Amino acid sequence: DQQVKQNSPSLSVQEGRISILNCDYTNSMFDYFLWYKKYPAEGPTFLISISSIKDKNEDGRFTVFLNKSAKHLSLHIVPSQPGDSAVYFCAASGTSGTYKYIFGTGTRLKVLA
Amino acid sequence: EPEVTQTPSHQVTQMGQEVILRCVPISNHLYFYWYRQILGQKVEFLVSFYNNEISEKSEIFDDQFSVERPDGSNFTLKIRSTKLEDSAMYFCASSDRGRWETQYFGPGTRLLVL
């Protein structure tokens, strides 16, 4: 099931700079997208979401952009902090009245001090 | 801040044994989910539960699996006869509504089947 893809398994960024994490999806029926952050041996922690009627949503240092025509979303973290180091998952839902999330494979972000 | 809790945090069992994983969802939430993550793989959906019945299940959720909300607070996942390939982190999640609603995840139960 490759409906949601995160093509970069890892990303390293200097503290204070921008982190950009990318996610692509194939199912045009998805209408709700989320980013979760996950530390080892913990559950996913919700960061930010966006519905398909928007193309941008901001919450503090986190901004999610949605490009429906390209079936692409991205998470921007500005400025990046060492505490942001974790695995980031994008998730999508909304196909055929189902509420389940389809997750990407994750991107491991390392913010260097 | 309300949170989803799960017990136990770790469970080791022998192949063929039954296990019950427990979850306490956020108190005013109405939709409940189980997901799992096999080591090194993506988080994958198992089952959703609403109004005391399964609303959707994945192909992974075969007859060995069952879910129950035995009282007003707990939500359980039972695996009747565990297999080696059931070893994974199991996450419970809950949401207030179904569509366009954020699911909040518990810390997970690490299940190891020997």
pLDDT exceeds cutoff 90 at A12: yes
A94 pLDDT exceeds 90?
A: no
Q: Residue A105: which of B42, B58, B104 has the nearest Cβ?
A: B42
Q: Which two tokens stand for residue A43?
A: 């559950």
Strands (E), chain B: 5-7, 10-13, 19-24, 31-37, 44-50, 53-57, 65-68, 75-79, 88-95, 104-105, 109-113
Report how far residue A96's alpha carbon sits from residue A80's, in angstroms, rounded to the nearest whole number.
37
Long-range contact list for A54-61, CB < 8 A, 24+ apart? none
Give the pLDDT band (50/70/90) at residue B100.
Answer: confident
Residue B2: per-residue pLDDT = 80
pLDDT at A23: 97
Q: In A, residues 40-99, which contact B (CB 8 Å cutoff)? A: 41-46, 49, 51, 89, 91, 93-94, 97-99
Greater confidence, B97 or B106? B106
Residues of chain B with Cβ-Cβ distance to A46 below 8 Å are 102-105
* Distance (Å, whole) CA A81 – CA B83: 41
Residue A1 pLDDT exceeds 60: no
Q: Which of B41, B55, B91 sits opposite A43 (nearest CB)?
A: B91
Mean pLDDT of B91-114: 91
Residue percentage of chain A with pLDDT more than 70? 96
